[in-house]
Amino acid sequence: MSDPLPASMPGPSRRDIYATYASGFFSLSMIPMYMLIIPLWALKLEASPTLIGIAVGARSLLPTFLSIHGGVLMDKLGIRRVMLWCALGITVLGPLHPFIPWIGAVIVLQLIGGLMLGFSWMGAQIQIGQLTMGNPVHAGRFSFFSNAGIAAGPLIVGVSWDWLGPIGAFGLLGAWGACLFVAVTLMPASGKGNRVEATPLRWRQLMPRWTDYRDAFFLLRDGAILLVIVATFIRLSAISVQGSFYPVYLESISVSGTMIGALVGAAAVAGSLASLLSGPMTRLLGPPWLLAVTVATTVIFISVTPLFADLSVLLVLAMLFGASYGLSLPLIISVLSKAAGPEKQGMSVGLRTTANRVASLVIPLVMGFLADLFDIASSFFVVGIGLLALTLALCFLVSRQQARP
């Protein structure tokens, strides 16, 4: 089942690979854990739908502007060095939430913690891309373990919320950050992105440079990269629906925190298993069209959620939603790694993460506004229709790319 790296490249060791898988597991899993617990915490604080949308969206504000800079930092300073500081910050910030019980503090903590979460997940993706040069088999396995974290994390934090309350649930997030810290320490200090770890750190290196942003957006001239960025925005918009008002809708029909976590976890299990099928499926449907189909179904299966209240139907929808987004991630990692080349891995992932964070910032705000203006169900439907319209634009890009000689 192995797909070897090019003969000119030595294969990564098992420790390198497994440490990177673990970093993907813990870094990605914390994102839906926060996406589940923050709306529930905001509801407990009696925040309005608009403030809930702001609190959820705040996690994506700084990464929206700094993800490209973060990717460049990892190219220059080393992936592991940046990730260690982020993991340490996550470990400290998570348990603070219940001790500052007001919505303004939630927004501030989400601003800071969101940047650290974003950089951590970026680093794991950059690391697997550098270690394997976009090898689709390794990308699929990395996606499998990362999505397994999405399955385990929300379920565990949902149970913690029900049985241990906010202090126990947010304490769990701190422990999860500590596990990420351990995983990152085991990651290799070798390869293009990590050889510079021994160089002295200067404050000037930490400041964003406009030329890095210019070079990053110039990458969009590559058709494959542009395709990935558009698909990424649509995909993450759908996931942001799940991470903002999906728990709020389920809470409104009296679904428990444990069951909400189980539904989110079921989606992740389906996504984890489906990610292993992305390679074989590209033989039936080319990567560009497979991306278009999977992002479209991701949008559909989350948008129709308010039409149903039966748990068995919600479970089926959650698993179909998860399978759709799980199929797309290995494709995105593999296509982007190959298109960007070894010199700009961090920059390309930073550009993709910017698209992610724009979606994560905008969608909760829009849904909160629509929920206040109409109702929660309407916010699902209006956002879903808008995202499907954008998917048509993605299909146009795929057609143009396929038409090129």
Contact 159, 104 (CB under 8 A): no
Q: CB of 348 within 8 A of CB of 298? A: no
Are 215 and 336 a contacting pair, CB within 8 Å?
no
Helices (H) and strands (E) in the chain, counts: 16, 0
pLDDT of the residue at 90: 93
d(CA 289, CA 399): 9
Domain boundaries, the chain: 14-194+209-403
pLDDT of amino acid 402:
59
Query: What pLDDT score was predicted for residue 174?
Result: 94
Helix pair 61-77, 210-218: axis angle to 10 deg = 90
pLDDT value, residue 135: 67
The Cα-based distances of 33 to 155, 172, 358 in angstroms read 8, 10, 19
Query: For the chain, which ranges sit under pLDDT 50?
Result: 1-9, 190-195
pTM of model > 0.75: no
- Tell me the C-alpha distance between 186 and 160, whole Å: 28
Q: Burial code of 37-71, b = ≥16 C-beta within 10 A, e = fewer?
A: bbbbbbeebebebbbbbbbbbbbbbbbbebbbbbb
The rounded distance, in Å, linking the Cα atoms of 95 and 183 is 20
User: Which fold would CATH assign to domain 14-194+209-403?
Assistant: Growth Hormone; Chain: A; (1.20.1250)
